[in-house]
Amino acid sequence: MGSYMPISIKSIIACGCLGAVMLATAACGPKRIPPMSVTDLMEDRVTLDGVLMKCNRNPSKARTDSDCLNARIAIERLASKNEPAEEAKRAEEFERSREKLRLAQEKQRKEQESKTKVDAYHLPLVPVEATPAPQPNDTNPPIARQSNP
């Protein structure tokens, strides 16, 4: 007849040792660091620069690594967030230079007008001599010619 113990003590000890080895291996391995989120990278620019440098060193890994993908998304979002502010700054600078140019042109136009404009109150005085009336040489007044019909 056989034994009523289907599992032997040797197999229990072997399974226990195997389990202990697996636990020891799992505990000693490095922890997997979760990838940084896009918002975390947007808030921490130093980390963002570090991730981008790591991605630029190894371009083949950069295409599949989630940190690299999140870093690219963060850069795009930061750039799109800064564009309206830069555009408003450029528009303000343009308006300032345009106003300055307009004032310079208006000043130049006023100077041209003042040079060409004759001010009657500041003209030099010129003596006016009376001109003699023309002397009639002929005593007969001129007659209008008539044409024959």
Task: For the chain, give the mean pLDDT.
Answer: 79
pTM above 0.75, yes or no: no
Burial 7-16 (b: 16+ CB within 10 A, else e): eeeeeeeeee
Distance between CA atoms of residues 59 and 65, nearest Å: 10
Q: Which two tokens stand for residue 61?
A: 């890994």
By CB neighbour count within 10 A (0-12 exposed, 13-18 middle, 19+ buried), where does 141 fall? exposed
The H-or-E segment that residue 97 falls in is: helix 66-116
Q: Average pLDDT in the 59-75 region? A: 81
Distance between CA atoms of residues 45 and 62, nearest Å: 19
Is residue 148's pLDDT more than 70?
Answer: no
Distance between CA atoms of residues 38 and 72, nearest Å: 9
Is residue 27's pLDDT more than 90?
Answer: no
Distance between CA atoms of residues 78 and 48, nearest Å: 11
DSSP-derived letter for residue 2 is -
Query: What integer pLDDT is reported at residue 101 of this predicted model?
Result: 96
